[in-house]
Amino acid sequence: MSQEIKSKLGFPGQWQETTLRIPDDEPPPWDPSYKFQTVNKAVPRVDAFAKVTGRATYTTDIRKPGLLYGRLLVSSHPSATIKSIDVSKAKALTGVKAVIALPIKEVRFVGQEIAAVAATSSQIADDALRLIKVEYDPRPFVVDVETARKEGAPLVFPKRAAQAPEGKSANVTPQRITKRGDIEAGFKRAEHILEGQFRTQVQTHSCLEPHAFTAEWEGDQLTVWASTQSTFSVRDELAQVFEISPSKVRVFSEYMGGGFGSKFGARASGKLAAMLAKEAKAPVCLIPSRKEEHLTHGNRPNSVQHFKMGVRNDGTITAMQLTSYGTGGIAGGAAATRPMLGLYRCPNKLAIDEDVFTHAGPARAFRAPGHPQGAFSLEQMVDMCAEKIGMDPLQIRLQNDPHTVRRAQMELGAKRIGWDRRNKTPGTQKGPIMRGLGMASSLWYNTGSAGAEILVKIHKDGRVEAFSGGQDIGTGIRTLIAQVVAEELGIPLQLLHVHIGDTQHPYAPGSGGSKTTPCVTPAARKAAFLAKQKLFDLARTLLKLEPKTPMIAQQSRIFSKADPKMSVDWAQLTRYLPNGILSVQATRAHNYAAYNNIIAGVQFAEVEVDTQTGLIRVLKIVAVHDCGLVLNKLTARSQVNGGVIQGISYALFEDRILDPRTGQMVNPNFEHYKIAGSREIPEIDAVLFDVYAGSNNTHALGLGEPTTVPTAAAIANAVYNATGARLFELPMTPDRVLKALAQRRSPQK
């Protein structure tokens, strides 16, 4: 059933021979000596033309005959009991086809869904919302994390009252404690102990395409077009809600405009779209407003982190202790401890964290949950240690980081940014404009898992289709499937047509954890590999070769390995396909013993700080990242660019601001919720670092998430290197920079 193969894994300078146990019908992972034709090249997206010409149909573009427009009524109170909902006037409005009031008694945040309407135009739907009378009985609320922690604070979940930790509010969850080694001994061994208090803000996902759903019923068959990062979870959730078989639900997501972790499942808006469609007996399209997107559709929790680190004069980090809390509104997920637990050799670690509930919209997974927050504190602490012992921040990292890939990335990145140029003594330039360099590391774990399937169909005209039910969150999976299949069959990309985003196609997992490429592409390669074996049989028959004659498929030809003149063209061969078609479906195997299971990554930032206005300008980011074998150099670079841009935006601008006195968000728009624009984007030197990882047949690992992890920390370290003032709070706005500079000038204040 399985075979043992010897595989050369690693990267130049760090090769190692590894024995892999792989299933019999699996192609072995590509050998480093293999000459790629399509994979590992800079290949433009196969759907680029459709996207830039507006031909690509997103969920918000779906137009069906008789389509109705759905709108949501959301709570305007942060905490209240709903005494009554009167929808009669809304129902009576001409053009309104369905009104649904949800059976909820309590609201716990501004933006919570209460009711929905469907009407013949979005304007009528809006009018109808304003005719719904909700009688609220407002209750005390708390949106500020510090206040929410205190005993006696208004409770988000009154039922938790009895679970209050000693001296704290029941809004606080029990502490999660992770211990490694002996923290006390670690601090005892240290020659210096440094401490820092760090704060990070709430960031909303701000997907450019809202969480849109269009739903249509035909009898008990439900069809949904969803802007989702998990077509199959939308299908399964809706099947469960409406108590029908998943076979009766079909979900499409051919193109989608950003998810970042906030678009799993149908959730309230998906369910309401389907409920409205059922009641109105007509298709309904429900598109949340930008305000609702900010309030309701996910965020990255904030954090308050107290870090303590011990270091010896020789640079050895001996102890790391992080105590942190944060709020994800009515949801959890605020832990910021993962980077300190995962990075650096230090044997003695203690991580303590707790979630704090507040009357605010629920957090959702957000591009490397917990990591940008955790890296912001950890990577500044490492720099503080380095300064204390008079060591270069690069040197202390090289010394304490056991990861061979990241160490190589550090050396490479340092060269590309010109690390020698950094200020030996921060804050000593003449000013008012000061420049500096900083760096920070990241890690990520997800290497994909078994289960994804791909169907490949080879047609008699030589064209090839590949089918996956999964979605493209933006990483370009449509293109990657085409590349991998074309590579395996030895044919040009133009012969491929890839279908994705339809739950009637074979299964693919949700796009979370940066795992789409490592999950889906090995299935694609395997399906193509198995189809190729059948084509080899056909070719041997045509060429009158012995069975089992070793064959090669390359440059649109199938030929004998021993005698390349014994050859048949791709176009010629496919004409002989019995029944005119060859279909093969394959499943992604379990992971093999890989060269590395932890994805590395390091970024270097060069900044300019106007010390009189507090304005930070990022001049350059060198981002060195690995994702196993880079399947497409263009789409991979796009991932890095996107992660860095989102990281800069997080570092300097984005901030969900809740008014403490009303619980309302004061900036639920893109005018005052600031996102980096074109002028804020520096030169981004995306350096992709190929690793023959070996955990699957394409060597692919994830990339989407780690690329945004170290950016804010690298910028903060660069700001320190420029000015000598350390920024302990995100976003690094002019007022905070000015305050830090003033504190540096007169520390007693």
Partner 1 sequence: MHRFEYANAASLQAAQEQLKADGSVIKAGGIDLLDLLKEHLIQPARLVQLKSIPELSNVHFDPQRGLSIGPMLTLAQTIQHPLIKQHTPSLVQAAQAIATPQIRNLATLGGNLCQRPRCWYFRSEDFHCFKKGGRRCFAQEGENINHAIYNNTLCAMVHPSGIAGPLVALGASVTLLKPPAPDRRLIKTKPLPHQTQTLPIEDFFTPPERSLLRETILGPQDILTHIHIPPRSSHSRDLYLKQKHKESADWPLAEIAVSAEIEQGRCKSLRVVLGSAAPTPWRSKAVEDAILGKPLDDKHIQQAAKAVRQDAKPLAQNAYKLDLFETLVARALHALNHPASQGRP
Could you tell me the smallest distance in angstroms from the CB atom of residue 396 to partner 1?
33
Return the SS3 of 610. strand
Q: Judged by CB under 8 A, which of 14, 57, 60, 76 binds partner 1?
A: 76
Looking at beta carbons only, is 143 or 155 nearer to partner 1? Answer: 143
Binding mask 312-331 for partner 1 (x = CB under 8 A): --------------------
Q: What is the DSSP letter of 29?
A: P
Looking at beta carbons only, is 571 or 738 nearer to partner 1? Answer: 738
Looking at beta carbons only, is 616 or 693 nearer to partner 1? Answer: 616
- Please, which of residues 596-655 interact with partner 1 by CB under 8 A? 610, 612-615, 653
Task: Provide the pairing of β-strand 284-286 with 68-74.
Answer: parallel
Could you tell me the smallest distance in angstroms from the CB atom of residue 97 to partner 1?
17
What's the 3-state SS for 240-274?
HHCCCCHHHEEEECCCCCCCCCCCCCCHHHHHHHH
Q: Judged by CB under 8 A, which of 676, 691, 715, 716 binds partner 1?
A: 676
Binding mask 114-153 for partner 1 (x = CB under 8 A): ---------xx-xx--------------------------
Binding mask 384-423 for partner 1 (x = CB under 8 A): ----------------------------------------
Return the SS3 of 35. coil
Looking at beta carbons only, is 494 or 612 nearer to partner 1? Answer: 612
First to last CA, the chain: 71
Strand blocks (E) in 545-700: 551-554, 557-560, 567-569, 581-587, 602-610, 615-625, 683-688
- Please, which of residues 268-287 interact with partner 1 by CB under 8 A? none
Looking at beta carbons only, is 178 or 289 nearer to partner 1? Answer: 289
Q: How far apart are CA 627 and CA 670, in angstroms?
A: 32
Q: Judged by CB under 8 A, which of 54, 671, 746, 747 binds partner 1?
A: 671
Taking CB atoms within 8 Å and a gap of at least 24, the contacts of 667-674 are 667/294, 668/290, 668/291, 668/294, 668/295, 669/290, 669/291, 669/294, 670/206, 670/290, 673/204, 673/206, 673/294, 674/649
Return the SS3 of 193. strand
Could you tell me the smallest distance in angstroms from the CB atom of residue 52 to partner 1?
19
Residue 743 touches partner 1, criterion: CB under 8 A: no
For residue 12, give the nearest of 626, 640, 631 by alpha carbon.
626
Q: Judged by CB under 8 A, which of 44, 432, 564, 580 binds partner 1?
A: 432
Q: How far apart are CA 582 and CA 532, in angstroms?
A: 10
Return the SS3 of 664. coil
Strand blocks (E) in 581-673: 581-587, 602-610, 615-625
The helix or strand, by DSSP H or E, that contains position 321, with its residue range, turns out to be strand 317-326
Looking at beta carbons only, is 199 or 460 nearer to partner 1? Answer: 199
Q: Judged by CB under 8 A, which of 548, 565, 679, 749 binds partner 1?
A: 679
Could you tell me the smallest distance in angstroms from the CB atom of residue 677 to partner 1?
3
Could you tell me the smallest distance in angstroms from the CB atom of residue 324 to partner 1?
25
Q: What is the DSSP letter of 445?
A: -
Write out the two tokens for 103: 């059976």
Looking at beta carbons only, is 342 or 668 nearer to partner 1? Answer: 668
Binding mask 559-598 for partner 1 (x = CB under 8 A): ----------------------------------------
Q: What is the DSSP letter of 494?
A: G
Per the CB < 8 A criterion, the answer to whether 115 and 87 are in contact is yes
Looking at beta carbons only, is 536 or 653 nearer to partner 1? Answer: 653
**Which residue ranges make up the site for partner 1 (CB under 8 A)?**
76, 123-124, 126-127, 432-433, 610, 612-615, 653, 657, 659-662, 664, 666-668, 671-672, 674, 676-680, 733-735, 738-739
